Structure 1
């Protein structure tokens, strides 16, 4: 069995195994059970075949309806696709927000950072987001076949997916240093893409403020992670209580998750 943290696909970005991480009680997450990733819309036939061989049974999509329509997932025939948008957005409002955001980004280099601050607050406090992540855990609990793998993703595989991984790893009892390291690994896997984007923007003579905001929007930062943790602290006191009170994970759910994913 191939065991690699970062999965190399031809047209798939930020595909990562969650197997191999240690829990605080000395157990290990099983390999070939859970993958996090970016979008699946550009996968090649070889990529799809790779996921088929990998045992992909569930594909959980966190993207918005607009993102899904623009780039539908390419997955193996036997894989079950489950649409669980973390954010529910009206298309017109979303377009207006994007226009306003871009105008502000031209002059204020902190715009991207501010936007991500709001995104991470919303992930924690928005009831729609909480419902999506609860449904995510429902599928994680269904993924109990020995040879079955679940993949969850958004577009870049960093924010909605990143927090999905934070919730999942926390429920399994992984320590926070490991959880943060997994979250920040996105910056390594997406660096070539971001470097290319910045190079292109500079060639177009984009304002430096805009480029800085794009860096913030296209990366992950400990500031974003801490924003989410601060919100969890405010609403529930700690992560275990948040998982129980807001994502409705029972003691039995936690026990079953650990039975399915740990060894």
Structure 2
């Protein structure tokens, strides 16, 4: 999967879902479905690459209004932007992505498997994720690619990616492997915070908790899958009944993306 990494100067954790195989033997077309961390620090070169090489035509920002105000994305001419926050402002405080100061992280650290369960059981979160998924699915891909992101490109971005890949009938093992790729780019940052907490005289278990919020863990994804399996007979039911995605949108998406 390493060849799906997108090489940018200042945009982190960016990759293309193209090349992944479905259970029916189809392949996701490259250059159309992009995921990343936030675009606040996107360089001019990055923006030109998105426009020239990927014909980017839509961005879906999954962050709250407060997060967007604190770190606004770079503006890319000719690209439509949809703001679809997964969390309400009231729920945003449980996400580690709210801040990056190590001392604050210790106060905000949730049990992240609980956060993932929340995103698929909370009505507001599900409606937002469904809206974001439909926004991707109903896109006119002849006009170019779609990119979605949160802050780190891990949790909210990761779960939307799970939904989209599931709709395309990609098996859970490949979905899991894509999710865990985040660790290849986030591990140095995670280790930095781990060392900062230890240097502040805090116990090792606290340092490990801070480190882990920047990493993708299988247990987090398992928590989401378990919650889906507990409440819905299959993934299609979750997409249609849990996320309120129109059935026609899923079929259109498959026709547009797979070959």
TM-score > 0.5 by shorter chain: yes
Q: Which residue of 2 aligns with 1:85?
A: 85
TM-score, structure 2 as length reference: 0.89
Helix, strand or coil at the partner of 2:147 = strand
State the match for 1:211 in structure 2. Answer: 207
Task: Confirm or deny: 8 A CA contact 2:195 2:207 kept in the other structure.
Answer: no
Deviation at 1:179, TM superposition (A): 0.6
Q: What pairs with 1:86-165 in structure 2 (closer than 5 Å)?
A: 86-90=86-90, 94=93, 105=106, 112=109, 115-165=111-161
Q: Residue in 2 aligned with 1:43?
A: 42
Cα distance in 1 for partners of 2:114, 2:208 equals 17
SS in 2 for 1:58: strand
* Cα distance in 2 for residues equivalent to 1:167 and 1:15: 18
- What SS does structure 2 have at the residue aligned with 1:59? strand
Offset at residue 150 of structure 1 (A)? 0.3
Change in 2 beyond 3 A, CA 1:251/1:94: closer
Q: How far does residue 48 in structure 1 lie from its aligned partner after superposition?
A: 1.4
Question: Would the alpha carbon gap of residues 153 and 86 (structure 1) be closer, same or farther in structure 2, given more than 3 Å must change?
Answer: same
State the Cα deviation string for residues 125-181 of structure 1 (Å, max 9, x = none): 111111212221232133223351100000001111111000000000111110111
Contact 1:56 1:76 in 2 (8 A): no
Q: Does structure 1 conserve the Cα–Cα contact (< 8 Å) formed by 2:32 and 2:141?
A: no
Deviation at 1:102, TM superposition (A): 6.2
Structure 1: give runs of 5+ residues left out of the alignment.
Answer: none
Unaligned runs of 5+ in 2: none
On the 8 A contact 1:51/1:75 being kept in 2, the answer is no
Task: Decide whether aligned partners of structure 1 residues 135 and 236 sit closer, same or farther in structure 2, where only a CA change above 3 A counts.
Answer: same
Corresponding residue for residue 179 of structure 1:
175
Describe the SS at the equivalent of 2:81.
Answer: strand
CA gap 1:17/1:10 in 2 versus in 1, 3 angstroms: same
Asked whether the equivalents of residues 34 and 151 of structure 1 are also in contact (C-alpha less than 8 Å), the reply is yes
Q: Contact 2:103–2:197 at 8 Å: present in 1 too?
A: no
1:184 Cα deviation from its structure 2 partner: 0.9
Residues 171 and 240 of structure 1 are in contact (CA less than 8 Å); yes or no, is this contact kept in structure 2?
Answer: yes
Alignment pair present for 1:69 and 2:72: no
**Matched residue count:** 253
Deviating 4+ runs (over 6 angstroms): 101-104
Query: What SS class does the counterpart of residue 26 from structure 1 fall into?
Result: coil
Contact 1:124 1:130 in 2 (8 A): yes
Within a 5 Å distance, the mapping from 1:239-258 to structure 2 comes to 239-258=235-254
